[in-house]
A and B are shown apart, each in its own frame.
Chain A
Amino acid sequence: MSPAVRTGISAGLLAVVVVLLFGNLSGVVLGLLAGAGAAILLDSRVEWPNRNAAIVGGATAGAVAGLLILVGQFIHDLFLMPLAGQPVATAPGSTLQAGLIAVVLAALAGAAVGAIVTQAERPRQLGLLGLLVAFVILFPFLDQQIQLGWTPTVISVLIYVVLALGLNIVVGYAGLLDLGYAAFFAIGAYTTGLLLSPQIGINWDHPLSFWLVIWIAAAVAGLFGLILGAPTLPLRGDYLAIVTLGFGEIVPIVFRNLTRVEIKEPFTGTCLIGCDKAINLTGGEAGINPISHPWLPLVGQFRTGQDLPWYFLIVAIIALTIFLISRLRNSRLGRAWTAMREDELAASSMGIDIVRTKLLAFAMGATFSGFGGAFFASYISAIFPGVFDFSVSVIILCMVILGGLGNITGVILGGLIIMMSDRLFLPQLATLVKNILNTSVLPTIADPAMKDFVATSVDPSQFRLLLFGLTLVIMMLVRPEGLIPNVRRRAEFHEAEAGAEATVATEAKAPAK
């Protein structure tokens, strides 16, 4: 089997899982992704003799992936749907049509990537970036066209990608384990909530106020990063993790309970804040709403249900975040983070102020989660303390670790994989399983207790925590550097093994001499 077919199969299999879940025209989006993905994977395994070979190889890999999608589409329409009690009304012809479109698109995407990867270094990078940008821009229109309805989910997924990028600064670059990262997300969101809603009577109703508030939210989150970080950062790694965890638990409690705020001077009893009536700062469990939406000239007011402006806004935020973080990373500060992560003692003896460097990492990470929080608050138009609990911090950590500590591409990929699984695939799988159970399995079970047991226990959405937990454990045991590792990080994680190998090698050599 040629390598082109093999990579086509592996990319296609991944895509088929999604197609089996969603059916319809999801093959179109997946075809594009799988075709391009297969070609990129292929390029990393094969040396191309010339450009034509690369184009043919890419197209072959894409077509193979597309054919698998075609098969998946047939299985979904002709087998799964009737099993789930929703026989597809349309003729098999339309299934074939959708499948063929997927094959053609996958082959084209593969060929395009094949043509680009054989260019020289610079045009190659620009070309791949261009393809990516084109896909990102076209995605919502495509989604609208084929009525997949993924855009709202993708928007909320992308919020978490921003958070993961921010946490990557703290965990990936500076090597500090932050288990309370959701706290900064909450602080950003609540800052936005307070400024853009009638909650405490500030409500800036100016059309452009969101564009100011998003910076304020980021700054406030960053400031809290400094306030929390200043006393805690001298602590050693795992103590720091626990302090941040404690902080992450305190913040939602505080937001939940700041419903009657009044402050009196303790000795004289003079009232300072909330004298006439105690201020309801955060709305308690019910949270704050409504939070106003952004406004832009030409676009007008952003509205709930109109996804395009939101989508492009969050994409813009991600682009800005990536730009800033990649600049930061190669700056003097970024290099200081790396040095400090690898050996604190050595770094400090080279003149790096450890506490200051850690503090900046903490504050920068918090700042980006402030951006995410501001967008989140305005997008949902309401915030509740329950959204920011410990599991959120761990999910974000999962993304960073799955994708690859310290690698921007890896973190984005990890974020997409985890959140898409959590928000899109798992719920869809749960619906599918439930439908199949209801129509095809449950009627065959006679015992009512057993029936009830199967109906409640076979529910994939019940196993979210298990999946996150397994991700963390398996990644740590098998591939601690993540799916797409940062080269340096990888070396650090395998230092012990490399050391052992080196010892073995010298020992093996010694008697031979």
Chain B
Amino acid sequence: MATTSPTVRTGSALPRWARNLALTLLILYIVLLVGPIAGLDAPRIWQSIAAEPKTLVQVALVGLANGSIIAIIALGYTLVYGIIELINFAHADVFMLTAFMSLTVLGAIGVDQKSSSGQIFVGVLVALVVAVLFGALLNASIERLAYRRLRNAPRLAPLISAIGVSFILQNLGLFWGGLRIIFPVMGVNAAAPKTFPQLLPEGILFQDGPIIFRQKDLIIILASVAFMIALRLFVQYTRLGKAMRATAQNRDAAKIMGINVDTVIAFTFLLGGGLAGVAGLLVGLYNGTIVFNMGLTAGLRAFTAAVLGGIGNITGAMLGGFLIGLLAAFSDVYFSSRWTNAWVFAILVVILIFRPLGLLGEAGGEKA
């Protein structure tokens, strides 16, 4: 063995902390230098915040509402990753299809803005149940058909399979969008964004200058937080939740303890798909439009959120979701909306490089 070990590097007289500090300062300087091209123009941002501080509050509110939806999608990634260490690439497209399902159901029931609030409530409830069931079953069947056989294959095989499933689902969404003969709500063009009925109450709860807080913002945030807390309690205290955690920690040991690992994994996919269903309905209701290729960006944002919070960690996914929502809203207003996705993905890259465990992740075995 003639070559030297890669960890032994000589030639630098500086202590480690000084080198790190210098490197950090250098990177910061470069960001300040080049950042303005991508909208990160610190003096300008500071000026606009100082001129109208209330806008910042509004940005934060928008960020929280969007972030709560991102968080729900992120939970789907984090649950599955936590249990079989697979980035379920198809998750975002399950979410997209559930949005189509919600729209289809709402269209079939026939509720729109003009319906009475009782009708709207029932309609949305039915759409929620159908979307959740649909997402859950879809996700679980994907696991059964495309992932289960690859559980002991090389790591990349299920990931590639997941990418394939994602494309298949996207195409299904495109096809679904073209079925206007069966679902008139789909509109004329298959690929065009679909208009979602505006069913959430738009009443203003609070207004102060540019700050507007509507009922629908509150509903979205409350609904997502409720689902997240329910999930947290479920995983923490129920028998099945404990089985999930056990399987995540050590599959073989769980098996020895009498846990049916296949069932637990299938259930995890059911749960993730159901959450995707919740997110699909909420996105449609909140944003008002859905489109067949919205999965990729939404999925990347949600995955970033999951990684930021510490993948496999439920609280982390929620935290990450809110942070990414805030960042995106901030970038839309103060940087440049054209660069928002680049900033979000840049965060993903930076987090993965410097702290792959995420904010709340714990160093556990081979996880990073």
- Taking Cβ atoms with an 8 Å cutoff, the residues of A that contact B are 175, 177, 179, 231-232, 235-239, 241-243, 245-247, 249-250, 253-254, 256-258, 260-266, 348, 350-351, 353-356, 390-391, 394, 397, 401, 449-450, 452-453, 456-457, 462-466, 468-474, 476-477, 480, 492-493, 496
Is B352 a contact partner of A243 (Cβ separation < 8 A)? yes
List residues of chain B with CB within 8 A of the CB of A463.
171, 175
Is A253 a contact partner of B34 (Cβ separation < 8 A)? no
Is B156 a contact partner of A466 (Cβ separation < 8 A)? no
Q: Which residues B337-360 have CB closer than 8 A to chain A?
A: 338-339, 341-342, 345-346, 348-349, 352-353, 356
* Among candidates A237, A256, A456, residue contacting B155 with C-beta atoms closer than 8 Å: A237
Is A457 a contact partner of B179 (Cβ separation < 8 A)? yes
* Whole-angstrom CA separation of A457 from B336 in the bound complex: 38
Is B37 a contact partner of A232 (Cβ separation < 8 A)? no
* Whole-angstrom CA separation of A496 from B303 in the bound complex: 30
In the complex with contacts A449-B181, A470-B168, A477-B353 CB distance below 8 A: no
* Among candidates B2, B303, B346, residue contacting A242 with C-beta atoms closer than 8 Å: B303
List residues of chain A with CB within 8 A of the CB of B190.
456, 462
B94 contacts chain A at the CB level, 8 A cutoff: no
List residues of chain A with CB within 8 A of the CB of B181.
449-450, 452-453
B222 contacts chain A at the CB level, 8 A cutoff: no
List residues of chain A with CB within 8 A of the CB of B230.
none
- Pairs A-B, 9 closest by C-beta atoms: A472-B164, A469-B167, A469-B168, A466-B171, A473-B164, A266-B32, A246-B345, A453-B181, A465-B171
> What is the CB-to-nearest-CB distance from A290 to chain B, in angstroms, rounded to a whole number?
26
5 residue pairs from A and B, CB less than 8 Å apart: A177-B156, A257-B38, A258-B37, A262-B37, A462-B171
Is B37 a contact partner of A261 (Cβ separation < 8 A)? yes
* Among candidates B1, B86, B165, B342, residue contacting A254 with C-beta atoms closer than 8 Å: B342
B204 contacts chain A at the CB level, 8 A cutoff: no
> What is the CB-to-nearest-CB distance from B319 to chain A, in angstroms, rounded to a whole number?
19
* Whole-angstrom CA separation of A231 from B350 in the bound complex: 9
In the complex, which residue of chain A has the Cβ closest to the Cβ of B172?
Answer: A466
* Whole-angstrom CA separation of A477 from B332 in the bound complex: 42
Is B342 a contact partner of A253 (Cβ separation < 8 A)? yes
Is B356 a contact partner of A476 (Cβ separation < 8 A)? no
In the complex, which residue of chain B has the Cβ closest to the Cβ of A237?
Answer: B155
Is A249 a contact partner of B300 (Cβ separation < 8 A)? yes
List residues of chain A with CB within 8 A of the CB of B316.
none
Is A477 a contact partner of B42 (Cβ separation < 8 A)? no
Is A264 a contact partner of B150 (Cβ separation < 8 A)? no
* Whole-angstrom CA separation of A412 from B345 in the bound complex: 32
> What is the CB-to-nearest-CB distance from A498 to chain B, in angstroms, rounded to a whole number?
12
B205 contacts chain A at the CB level, 8 A cutoff: no
> What is the CB-to-nearest-CB distance from A449 to chain B, in angstroms, rounded to a whole number?
5
> What is the CB-to-nearest-CB distance from B317 to chain A, in angstroms, rounded to a whole number?
15
In the complex with contacts A249-B341, A351-B3, A463-B171, A471-B156 CB distance below 8 A: no
Given A469-B170, A471-B164, 12 additional A-B pairs, CB 8 A:
A242-B307, A250-B345, A250-B346, A253-B341, A257-B339, A353-B6, A394-B167, A462-B175, A465-B174, A469-B163, A469-B166, A469-B169
B29 contacts chain A at the CB level, 8 A cutoff: yes
* Whole-angstrom CA separation of A222 from B36 in the bound complex: 27
> What is the CB-to-nearest-CB distance from A239 to chain B, in angstroms, rounded to a whole number?
5
List residues of chain B with CB within 8 A of the CB of A356.
6
> What is the CB-to-nearest-CB distance from B152 to chain A, in angstroms, rounded to a whole number?
5
* Among candidates B38, B174, B349, residue contacting A246 with C-beta atoms closer than 8 Å: B349
* Whole-angstrom CA separation of A36 from B287 in the bound complex: 58
- Chain B interface residue number, banded: 35 or more
> What is the CB-to-nearest-CB distance from A35 to chain B, in angstroms, rounded to a whole number?
34
* Whole-angstrom CA separation of A260 from B41 in the bound complex: 14
Is A401 a contact partner of B160 (Cβ separation < 8 A)? yes
Is A235 a contact partner of B338 (Cβ separation < 8 A)? no
Q: Which residues B175-214 have CB closer than 8 A to chain A?
A: 175, 178-181, 190
Interface of A: prevailing SS: helix
Is B159 a contact partner of A477 (Cβ separation < 8 A)? no
List residues of chain A with CB within 8 A of the CB of B168.
465-466, 469-470, 473
In the complex with contacts A232-B353, A473-B161, A353-B3 CB distance below 8 A: yes
Interface string of B1-31 (1 = CB under 8 A from A): 1110010000000000000000000000100
List residues of chain A with CB within 8 A of the CB of B37.
258, 260-263
> What is the CB-to-nearest-CB distance from A365 to chain B, in angstroms, rounded to a whole number?
16
* Among candidates A254, A258, A394, A476, residue contacting B161 with C-beta atoms closer than 8 Å: A476
List residues of chain A with CB within 8 A of the CB of B157.
476, 480, 493
List residues of chain B with CB within 8 A of the CB of A480.
153-154, 157
Is A245 a contact partner of B300 (Cβ separation < 8 A)? yes
* Whole-angstrom CA separation of A247 from B350 in the bound complex: 11
List residues of chain B with CB within 8 A of the CB of A266.
29, 32-33, 42
List residues of chain B with CB within 8 A of the CB of A465.
167-168, 170-171, 174
> What is the CB-to-nearest-CB distance from B198 to chain A, in angstroms, rounded to a whole number?
27
* Whole-angstrom CA separation of A456 from B179 in the bound complex: 9
List residues of chain B with CB within 8 A of the CB of A179.
163
Is B349 a contact partner of A477 (Cβ separation < 8 A)? no
Is A354 a contact partner of B160 (Cβ separation < 8 A)? no
B149 contacts chain A at the CB level, 8 A cutoff: yes
List residues of chain A with CB within 8 A of the CB of B175.
457, 462-463
List residues of chain B with CB within 8 A of the CB of A470.
164, 168
In the complex with contacts A232-B353, A241-B87, A243-B348, A250-B342 CB distance below 8 A: yes
> What is the CB-to-nearest-CB distance from B180 to chain A, in angstroms, rounded to a whole number?
8
List residues of chain A with CB within 8 A of the CB of B34.
263
* Whole-angstrom CA separation of A54 from B261 in the bound complex: 55
Is A472 a contact partner of B174 (Cβ separation < 8 A)? no
Q: Which residues B117-175 have CB closer than 8 A to chain A?
A: 146, 149-150, 152-161, 163-172, 174-175
* Whole-angstrom CA separation of A262 from B345 in the bound complex: 23
Is A472 a contact partner of B150 (Cβ separation < 8 A)? no
In the complex with contacts A462-B175, A472-B161, A473-B161, A265-B339 CB distance below 8 A: no
* Whole-angstrom CA separation of A351 from B338 in the bound complex: 46
Is B29 a contact partner of A477 (Cβ separation < 8 A)? no
* Whole-angstrom CA separation of A245 from B303 in the bound complex: 12
* Among candidates B155, B304, B349, residue contacting A238 with C-beta atoms closer than 8 Å: B155
B296 contacts chain A at the CB level, 8 A cutoff: yes
Is B346 a contact partner of A468 (Cβ separation < 8 A)? no
B108 contacts chain A at the CB level, 8 A cutoff: no
List residues of chain A with CB within 8 A of the CB of B86.
238
Is A355 a contact partner of B6 (Cβ separation < 8 A)? yes
List residues of chain A with CB within 8 A of the CB of B352.
232, 235, 239, 242-243
B50 contacts chain A at the CB level, 8 A cutoff: no
Interface string of B60-93 (1 = CB under 8 A from A): 0000000000000000000000000111000000
* Whole-angstrom CA separation of A401 from B156 in the bound complex: 12
> What is the CB-to-nearest-CB distance from A306 to chain B, in angstroms, rounded to a whole number?
35
